Structure formats: structure tokens, C-alpha cells
A and B are shown apart, each in its own frame.
Chain A
Amino acid sequence: MADSCAENAAKGTENERPKEVEASADTVPQVEEGVEEYLKRKNMVLLDYEKQMFLDLVEADGLLVCAKGLSYDRVVISILKAYSDSGNLVLVINSSDWEEQYYKSKIEPKYVHEVASTATERERVYLEGGLQFISTRILVVDLLKQRIPIELISGIIVLRAHTIIESCQEAFALRLFRQKNKTGFVKAFSSSPEAFTIGYSHVERTMRNLFVKHLYIWPRFHESVRTVLQPWKIQSIEMHVPISQNITSIQSHILEIMNFLVQEIKRINRTVDMEAVTVENCVTKSFHKILQAQLDCIWHQLNSQTKLIVADLKILRSLMISTMYHDAVSAYAFMKRYRSTEYALSNSGWTLLDAAEQIFKLSRQRVFNGQQEFEPEPCPKWQTLTDLLTKEIPGDMRRSRRSEQQPKVLILCQDARTCHQLKQYLTQGGPRFLLQQALQHEVPVGKLSDNYAKESQTRSAPPKNVSSNKELRREEVSGSQPPLAGMDELAQLLSESETEGQHFEESYMLTMTQPVEVGPAAIDIKPDPDVSIFETIPELEQFDVTAALASVPHQPYICLQTFKTEREGSMALEHMLEQLQPHYVVMYNMNVTAIRQLEVFEARRRLPPADRMKVYFLIHARTVEEQAYLTSLRREKAAFEFIIDTKSKMVIPKYQDGKTDEAFLLLKTYDDEPTDENAKSRQAGGQAPQATKETPKVIVDMREFRSDLPCLIHKRGLEVLPLTITIGDYILTPDICVERKSISDLIGSLNSGRLYNQCVQMQRHYAKPILLIEFDQNKPFHLQGKFMLSQQTSMANADIVQKLQLLTLHFPKLRLIWSPSPYATAQLFEELKLGKPEPDPQTAAALGSDEPTAGEQLHFNSGIYDFLLRLPGVHTRNIHGLLRKGGSLRQLLLRSQKELEELLQSQESAKLLYDILHVAHLPEKDEVTGSTALLAASKQFGAGSHNRFRMAAAASRRGRR
């Protein structure tokens, strides 16, 4: 099978070449025919546009950008299957956990290898070929150390290509790969077109970092995609749900405040480009990314008022979402949190506006009625959902003559919280659920309104006991004991809320207990329509869909699911669709990706119109929800148009794929351009003889490959030698040792004392120790935090600077480098190495280990120095006198306490040192267990030796007395 597959691939290649030479009109259909046969044999069913994607990528390496929901996963699987062979070595990098699991499950296990933890094992696995899902950091180290045979790599597949930037590990790995391998492929995939519009010329830079020359763009409005999806269009029904007056008012007031804050930001920062900060963008989900891209580079220049406004815009967006999608009680509890005195002191002042007062008042009105009684309003979509499940769908089943089948409904929500909310609503009923929420959120429920108590009482009654139900109703009508009923209800829910956990699942399965039948039985149900007919299925625990379906063969089946889950990402929806094959889908929230996935799923099934899915959209028309959905559609379209326009104007050098040596020569020249002309000419003159001799080297500690700096050092033409060294992080020359600290590392190391020890080691073994304080490129070049909200922050920062100064006082030869970004650091390293000798890897590895260095010329012996410094009574001020006159530890034992006092210049220190040398100290209570074990162990040596040493200790004690 493998051999025939390889032969077929070879034949395909041979067939393609003469046809290209002939340039006949029959080339395309014949090639497509061959691929179709190949795909059939591989048991792959692709849509037409997916075949085209596959063909494009097989023909030439490239970057494929497709719309969300038109997943490229089947194309990736086809490529992986084509190269599933022992003679091929294919690496997949930059995949998330769920992507890796998904692709592994689709490929034959024989060709998929787990990444081994030891270097020797990995070396063996590489030679076996097949497919490897590997961490990029491990790959980089293996490439640098020549553990992986670079010439034998068939190709690299890069997922989530929009995250490839110049300084990341993936670009580093690809550059190492292309420098030695000119024949392997590079194929990159991305389903995030918006990401390419952020930053300067993102598309071109990504393609250059990936070493690809072709860009394939697949938006939803692509002609091929439209042709494939149009005939199998899903039956979509939009149901416009009106929202309550309170929600509308709250929404408009929040928008009013947001508009005010946006105007305020623009007024304060006239010189800053704030084009993307609009009310419309504040509402969308990706507002954080837009804001981060625009403001982070100048964050340290903004005043505190701007920073507070940005934080408040995020809070207001949360309030908007809470008002729209959460229940009234949760929204009220969330709102109350921002009406406190502490928050009023620390925000930008929006809580003082009239609109804010209106928001607080209306939020409360949704929960309490005019007489301050607890009567929360239900979510607007709840009733529509119930009508759908109990009337519309059963009616449709009857009309379409599918009554003998088991109806299957899939309800899609945007997050786990909404899933949980709907599950509770369907199984418990709205009033009961809302009362429970009030108790959980500690909203004071002083008194239940009469209507509310009646509804709650009715819903909690058992549905089958008709006679008792009538009796209860008769009691309520008489009105003899309504307060007592409310009290019982509260007590009941209090006990329930204590046991209920707060964990939100991403998927729930329900069924309806009473089948809807036409006939005399239906008449009995009608008088009591509010009784809950939904219950959960026990097989929920195993997430076994087939078992759940089998357990309720004749009852309707309802599945609640989020658009994407943590375990399976966006593949969870496709997985559920394949297993469930639902007849009806309810879109409780709007999501572009999910709609596309439903369309693609229907196109694959190719069912006649009567058998297709019916999709119900629950939309609040002319509201923020609809606006957010339309905005996301428009932004995706704009992103694709931007990419298409960029592609039409793109200039790609023919060496960009890295398959000729021109690319790397020109890369070095390109690297020299940012420096000034004089530096460039000087470096060029200096580099010319050096290039013929050898490449400059930098020794990098193995743990440093988690950061961006080794990649950027390599990009500037320096050779990176990965090594496990105990002193320092980078060795530039035999004299220069660099310890790199990011800001958080610096704070941690100064506080724990680790940095002091590291500086002691560096100073002892290197002539020029350097402490590199490296700021992140996208973070402010500032030691202060982003929000000066409290006095504590300011004091903490001053403390860090003081400790840094104390460090420089005690290590006068330690140099500090303040680097604003890893790019600047790499540039500085290159300049520091000019005209200097190269570091020796063996010497660097030997330093700090157990073996003493031959050339060690310390004034004091370091071992005994470090030992003495930790004894009680010895510290940095008196240790030098002790070392000069003490002689050795044995001589120290012979001295009296008086003589020690002269050496240490302190009576107290002398006593401490004398006691530690001559007196036995017992361990504390928590060490008794360990001592017992040691005692048992020491008995094995024999009682004789133990007694002898005990007598020696006693004699020593008597001598002291």
C-alpha cells in the first residue's frame, strides 16, 4: 500500500510535467481526474473548492487564508495522508492541543510518532520518517544541534500562520530549515484574515518569514465557494424576538456613555491616531485587540485619565453583554458591583453621569416591581425557545410526515454560561431559576409578589398528580396562606443552592418526557401548559451520543452546545453534527463561523430539500446584537478585500522561497539597512575578512530558547550554540557574560536573592559581567505599571530600583544594559562582538560545575568562603578579617571564644560562631520524624561506633565547661 502510494505520487509528478510543457487545454481536467481517483482511493470526500485548495497547495508552496467556518482541516488531512510514508519526514508546527489531537485521530497510527522526551530517542524517531507534531522550541534546539537530518525533511506544515512574526520560534525554525534544505515544502494555513490587517504590511512579512511565494485567498464570497454551497442551501428561518423596554433603555444609555468616553479619549489625545476607537468597534468582540495594537506602543506616554477610560470602556462592554444575554438577576448583581463607593473613586467618572443613574435604576426595575416586590422579568428569548420546542417543531414534524422518526434538535449558544442558563430554564422553569439566581448572587429578596409566588408554586408541583394539583390551586385561590408558601419556597431553594455547584458545562443533552399526541390525551395537558417536560439524560457523563439516543428511542432529543469548546475548539461543532445529524438547529446566539460550518455540513450531505436541516435564528432586530453580527461580517469582508488588494500590488522576489542562495545573502544586506550608512560601511569592511574566516558565535543557555532573543541573534547572522551552562545566559566573548532578565524575572530574582548569587558567579568567572534588563517590544519602556491605581504600586517600583542600586554598589564591575526590545538587544550583541575573540563552548560548560578550573586564581578559596559566609556570626563585614587571620577550619576549632571575638570584632558574633562549632543543636519538632529515620539508619553501623562518638561529644561538652 505504501509503495503503491509512493509510485502513484511519482507518476502524478511525471504526468504533470509533460502536460505543462505541452500547454494543452486538456491539462486541468486530466489533472483533476487523477486527483479525484487518488482522493477516492484515500477515502477522502472533498467539496469542489477544497479540491482546488488541495491542488493549489500541492502544485506550489503557499500561504492559504480562508474564511472562518470554511475549515482547511480536510485539506491538511489530505496533504498529511499523501505524505504518510516511512520515506517522508513531515513536521507540523504551531498547532494547538486540540488541533494536534484532531489531526492525529485522522491519520493512520503507524505513521504518527509521539515526540520523545530525550534527545537520543528523538534522534531515532526522526530517522523513522512519518509525521511529527512537534513543539517549535524543541525543534529549534534539535535543528541547531544537528540532531534532525535537515536534508531528509520532506516539508513543514505551519498552522495558524497569522501568528508568524519575525522574532518567533517558528520563523527561526523555518530559516534554519531553508538554509540547508532547498527541496522540502512549506505549507501554511490560517483562518484569521483580520489578523493580517493589523500592523504594517503583515501579509508580506508573514510570507517572507514562511519562505513562500504564493498566497491563496478563499473568502466566503469566492465564486468556487458560492457555487458549491448555493445548491445545498440550508432552510433558514429568522425569528425576530422583541426585547423589553428596560433592556432597550439600558442599552441606549450604555451606548451614550461609551460615546461620551470615546469623545473624551480623542479630546485628550489629539496627536494619537484613534481612528479605530469608535462606538461601533467598542461593541465588537475584538475591541481589545484593536486597542492593544494602537495604544500599546505609546502606552507609557498616555496620561492616567486615558488609561482609566480604556479600562472603563471594557467594563461598559461587559455590562452591555450582561444586560443582553444574562438573566435579569445576574445582570442586576453585576451592575450593583459598579455602584459602590470604592469603584467611584477609581474609575474615570462615568458613574456620575445621568445615563449611569438611569442604568442603575432600570436594572433594578427589571428585578423588582413597583411595590419593591421580587418579580424579575424573564429573558426575551426564553419564551420563543419554548414555543419552538413545544409547538413549532412538533408541528413541522407532523406536516413533513417525519412523525415516525425521532426528532433531534441542536441548540447553539455562544458560551458555557448561556448553555447552563438554558438548561436550568428548560428543566426548572423561569421563575424558579431566577429565584435561585437571586439567592446565589445575594440579591435581597424581601418579599415575593403574589403573581410570582403563584407561578413558582405551580411550577414546582408534580405534573402527574392532578388531584393534588387542583387542591393546591384551590388553596391559592382562597388566598389564605400566600406568605407561608413564599417562605417554604425560600427554605427549599436555600438548601438546593448550597449543594449546587457553579461549574458550567459546554454541552448538555435533554429530552422531552411527554410526547405530543393528537387525541383525547392532549386535552388533559392543555390546561396545565407550564409544567416542565424537559429532563436531562444520564448519559451526559460519558458524552456518548449514540448511547443517549438509544436510551430514549421515541422521545425528542435536544442537545445544547457552545460554538467551540476547550477540548476540541471549533471542531466540536462539526463533531456533534456528524454524530447527531440533527433535523433542527436553533441559533440562540449569532456566530459567523457556526453558520458557515452548518452550510458546509449541509453541502457535504447533499440531501433533497425536504430532508435538509431547518435552522431557526433567534435575533433581536435592530439592536446591538444584530449590529455586532453585521459588523463582524463587514470586517471580515473588508479584511479579505484588503488582502486581495495587497496581493494584486505585492512584489515578491523570486528567491523568497529560499531555494537559492541569493535569499540569505540578501537577507544579511537587508539586516544591515536599518543601521546608519557609516555603521554599514564599517561593518561591511569589517565583516568581509571575518566572513571568510568564520561566523561569529554566541553561546546560548538551553533555557533561553523560550524567549525571542536567540532567534533574532541568529537572524543577524551570528551562529547560535545551544548549551547547558550554569553561569549566565549568553556568552559573547571569553570575557563577556550576559544574564538576561525580563521585568518580572528581575523583580522575582531581586526579591528572592537569586540574582545576587548569579552575579557572584558571573563576577568570579568573567571579566565583564553584564545584567541585561530587557523590555518587551510591545510593552511600555517603563518600570512602572500600567495603572497607577494605588500607592502600593509606586512603592513596589521604588523598592525594585533601590535593590538594583544596592546590587550595583556591591558589584562595581557589573554593567547594566537597558534594552527596549529583543531587536535592540540582538543588535547590541552583534556590536559588542566586533573585533573580539570567540567564546569556547567547553570552557563555558565547565565553569560552575564540580571540577575546579585549572586557571583559577582566586585570592580566597571560594568553597570555604561560601561555607563560612553561611555560618551564624559571620557576615559580609567581618568575613574578610576572619579569612586573613583564621587559617583554616581546624585552626578555628582550637581558638577560644575570646580569640574569636578579636577576629570577628564582635562579642555576639564570636559567641554565635563558637556555639555553632562546638555545641550540638537539636532539630526542631517538625524534623523529629526525619531524625527517627536517620537514627534507625545509623544503628546499622553498629552500637560500638555510635557509643564512641557519643562519648567524644560528651568529652567535648565537658571540655567546654
Chain B
Amino acid sequence: MEDFDDDSFNDVLGAMEMPTAAKQPKVDAPAATAVNPAPSNSTEPSGSGRPAPGKPASNPHCVLVHSKQRGNPILKSILNVPLEFRDDIVPDYVVGRTSCVLYLSLKYHNLNPDYICQRLKALGKMYELRVLLVQVDTPEPNNALKSLTRISLLADLTMMLAWNAEEAGKIIETYKQFEKRPPDLIMERVESNPHQKLLAALTNIKPVNKTDAAALLHTFGNLGNIINASEERLSQVMGLGPRKAKKLYKTLQEPFLSK
């Protein structure tokens, strides 16, 4: 009995590998552009064949919750974000135009190992960020987490752990609140002084260090003059040799779009 289940499990995982290959070209884009979500949104409803005109437009500030999740205790912890219950969404929670959350309790997973595979079949290729929110509520979670990790890697899921219902609700709430937040919170702190900012920007070019950047600014006065200078002129600055000058010139003269 168990052997048969594992074999079907492997078949499901093998089928799951197909969408992964199709998504690889998206890695070329450094970040999702503002225009991209609109086409994917329009494509998905028609792909699923749902009657779009019949449904009212959802409030962009609401977390869409599937009706099956009504009894979930984590809903009590979602305090700062309004909820809207729907029957026509495939994931458990929709926290953004390109983000969704599947909720899974480890206890339930141990009792129903195939449940998550069925959910993934239904989900297909929808949504760019697919979060598997796992609530760790068993004393020995290691084996279950290992299998869920493999499923997540094969099916392009991002797994987040929560150790109690309150944490799980907090995670869903945060995903909604952070939907349009820029990543400044997790980036490096930059000085507010313009001179410091220029030093940091020039230092970011690979072979240039802080001393070189200061020498450049002192010699040329402003950034515009550095950009307009020739490679030979750049190499005459104290501390910059021909190699650094060549690299700096190449970066500054580089077109924004690649050919």
C-alpha cells in the first residue's frame, strides 16, 4: 500500500517538473516590471475559463480568502488587513496581484500526504510568488519538512515556517502590507550627503575604490565631466592605472539596454 502511494507521488512530482522549465526565461529580468503583471492577470482568467464579467472587481486592499478557510484559527491573528471571502480563487489566500499563499498544517500533512500535491495540480502555473505557509505543530517535524522542502523546490514554491497560529496569521498580514513596498528595508544604508552618494556610486564600479572615487571627483569637479572624459584622460588621475581607467570608461559609456 505504501509503496503504491510513493510511486504515484513520484509521478506527480515528475509532472510538476514541467512548469519549472517553462519559467526559466523569466530569470533574465532583474525584477518584475510594472507592465508585466497586467498581461499575466488577463491571461490567467481566460486560461481558467472563469466568467469574468459576472464577478465584481475585488478591493485591492483586501486579502482574498477561500471560503474553506473560514474555520482556520489563524484568521483571528489577521488584524490590520481586511478580509474578503471568495469561492472562485484557487489558492487559500491571495495577497497580491502576483502573490498567493497556500496554508498547510504539519499535522494535516502527516495524515493526508497527497493533499498538497492535489493543491499544486490545481494551482498550475498561476502567480509569480507562491508561498507555502507551513505551521509546525508536531514534536518531530524533520521528516515532514524534508519532503515538503523537496516539493517546494520542484514546484517553485517559497516555503515559510510558522510555529503557531498567531505567527502564521502575522505572515499573511505582512505579505499584504508589503505588497508594494520597495526593498529599501533590506538594502544597504546609504549616506544622505550628495558627495557621499557619489563616492558610493563610483565605488560600486568593480575596480574603483573609495580613494580613486575621491580623486576622480576632485580632479573633474562633477560627475558630468567624468562621464565626458576620455579613457586616456581618466588614466592620468592619481591612483587609476590603465586597467582601472579602461574598466571605468567602459562602464560609463555602456548603453542602458543590451543589444
Please report A residues at the B interface, Cβ cutoff 8 Å. 300-301, 678, 750, 752-757, 760, 763-764, 767-768, 770, 781-784, 798, 801-810, 812-821, 824, 827-828, 831-832, 850, 857-868, 870-872, 875-877, 880, 882-884, 886-890, 893, 915-924, 927, 930-931, 934-935, 937-938, 940-941, 949-950, 952-953, 956
Contacts and interface: CB of A to CB of B under 8 A. Distances in A.
A155 B156 CA distance: 49
Interface of B: 2-3, 6, 23-24, 26-34, 96, 98-99, 128-129, 131, 136, 139, 141-142, 145-146, 149-150, 152-153, 156-161, 163, 167, 170-171, 174-175, 178-179, 181-190, 193-198, 200-202, 204-207, 214-215, 217-225, 227-228, 236, 238, 247, 250-258
Contacts of A877: 182
B236 A935 contact: no
A742 B171 CA distance: 21
A956 B223 CA distance: 12
A891 to B, nearest CB: 9
B140 to A, nearest CB: 10
A784 B136 CA distance: 14
A831 B206 contact: no
Given A818-B145, A917-B222, A934-B218, A859 B175 contact: no
Given A818-B149, A859-B28, A877-B182, A917 B255 contact: no
Which 3 A-B residue pairs are closest in the complex by CB-CB distance?
Answer: A753-B188, A870-B201, A953-B221
Given A301-B139, A934-B238, A861 B254 contact: yes
A872 B194 CA distance: 7
B254 A921 contact: no
Q: Which of A752, A877, A920, A941 has the most CB of B within 10 A?
A: A920
Contacts of B34: 880
B214 A919 contact: no
Contacts of A814: 158
A790 B23 CA distance: 45
B251 A938 contact: no
A866 B204 contact: yes
B201 A812 contact: no
B169 to A, nearest CB: 12
A817 B183 contact: no
A889 B252 contact: yes
A871 B195 CA distance: 10
B222 A798 contact: no
Given A756-B183, A872-B197, A876-B182, A820 B145 contact: yes
B63 to A, nearest CB: 14
B97 to A, nearest CB: 12
A806 B188 contact: no
B182 A805 contact: no
A133 to B, nearest CB: 38
Given A802-B174, A857-B28, A859-B30, A934 B181 contact: no
A859 B29 contact: yes
B222 A820 contact: no
27 contacts: A301-B139, A753-B189, A754-B188, A763-B30, A784-B163, A803-B186, A805-B171, A807-B183, A809-B96, A813-B26, A814-B158, A815-B158, A857-B28, A860-B30, A866-B204, A871-B201, A880-B33, A886-B256, A888-B255, A893-B224, A918-B222, A921-B198, A924-B195, A937-B238, A938-B215, A938-B238, A950-B221
Contact of A767 (B24, B158, B181): B24
Chain A residues touching B, majority SS: helix
Contacts of B215: 934, 937-938
Q: Which of A763, A770, A798, A817 has the most CB of B within 10 A?
A: A817
A821 B141 CA distance: 12
Given A753-B188, A764-B30, 16 more contacts: A678-B3, A753-B186, A768-B153, A812-B98, A832-B150, A858-B30, A860-B256, A863-B206, A867-B201, A870-B200, A871-B201, A888-B253, A916-B198, A921-B222, A953-B221, A953-B222
Contacts of A922: 195
Contact of B228 (A827, A890, A921): A890
B163 A883 contact: no
B186 A927 contact: no
Contacts of B160: 801, 804-805, 808, 816
B181 A806 contact: yes
Contact of A813 (B27, B184, B198, B255): B27
Contacts of A798: 170
A877 B255 CA distance: 20
Contacts of B32: 812
Given A806-B183, A949-B219, A893 B228 contact: yes
A801 B171 contact: yes
Q: Which of A813, A865, A886 has the most CB of B within 10 A?
A: A813
Nearest to B252: A889
B99 A809 contact: yes
Contact of B129 (A767, A768, A812, A927): A812
A820 B31 contact: no
B256 A888 contact: yes
A888 B174 CA distance: 38
A953 B219 CA distance: 11
Contacts of A678: 2-3, 6
Nearest to A812: B129
Contacts of A808: 129, 131, 158, 160
A794 to B, nearest CB: 11
A919 B201 contact: no
Contacts of B23: 813
A864 B99 CA distance: 30
Contacts of B179: 809
A920 B153 CA distance: 50
Contacts of B200: 870
Contact of A876 (B31, B145, B214): B31
A232 B220 CA distance: 87
Given A867-B205, A870-B201, A941-B236, A750 B186 contact: yes
Contacts of B153: 768, 770, 815, 817, 832
A919 B218 contact: no
A814 B193 CA distance: 34
Contacts of A949: 219-221, 225
B163 A783 contact: yes
Given A809-B178, A918-B222, A941-B236, A782 B255 contact: no
A863 B178 contact: no
Contacts of B29: 859
B258 A859 contact: yes
Contact of A861 (B98, B99, B256): B256
Contacts of A783: 161, 163
A755 B170 CA distance: 23
Contacts of B196: 924
Contacts of A923: 195, 214
Given A820-B142, A824-B142, A889-B253, A807 B171 contact: no
